[in-house]
Amino acid sequence: MARVFLHQNTFLLELTEKYDELEEEEISRIAKCIEKNVECNGNIFRWISSTSGIYDTEKDNIGKCANCGTWTTDCEESNPVKDLNYGAKLKGVLFCDLCLPKDHPIAF
């Protein structure tokens, strides 16, 4: 029987208002650096896959937590962004799972 350790990371880059080809080239360069195999203590961590997308805070279910500023998605609304911290709105204000009141169903 084989055992496999799977570790996933999510990286987030805030784009400037004038997203341009230079930023696109930088994103591509960063992605290529991430997509390399890493050796640690004789074990090789192999790159498997990457996904990326550009989100619009006015159109997509994404925003910053009102308390701590981390990027989060409202998991109680439609189309949550699965690779972001889940959060929810209280009285119309978005909070991440760490900043929601402890009695909230998705509070961490």
- Total number of domains constituting the chain: 2
Within this chain, do residues 65 and 94 fall inside the same structural domain, yes or no? yes
Render each residue's pLDDT in the chain as its tens digit; 108 residues.
778 777 777 878 787 766 666 677 777 888 888 778 788 888 888 888 877 788 888 899 999 999 999 999 999 999 999 888 999 999 999 999 999 999 999 988
Structure confidence at residue 20 (pLDDT): 65
Residue 29: strand, helix, or coil: helix
Q: Which helix (H) or strand (E) holds 79?
A: none
Within this chain, do residues 47 and 66 fall inside the same structural domain, yes or no? no
Residue 67: inside a domain, yes or no?
yes
Within this chain, do residues 60 and 102 fall inside the same structural domain, yes or no? yes
Within this chain, do residues 47 and 18 fall inside the same structural domain, yes or no? yes
Containing structural domain, residue 79: 56-108
Structure confidence at residue 50 (pLDDT): 79
The residue out of 35, 54, 73 marking a domain boundary is 54
Structure confidence at residue 23 (pLDDT): 73
Within this chain, do residues 36 and 22 fall inside the same structural domain, yes or no? yes
Within this chain, do residues 60 and 101 fall inside the same structural domain, yes or no? yes
Looking at residue 108, its amino acid is: F
Q: What is the reported pTM?
A: 0.72
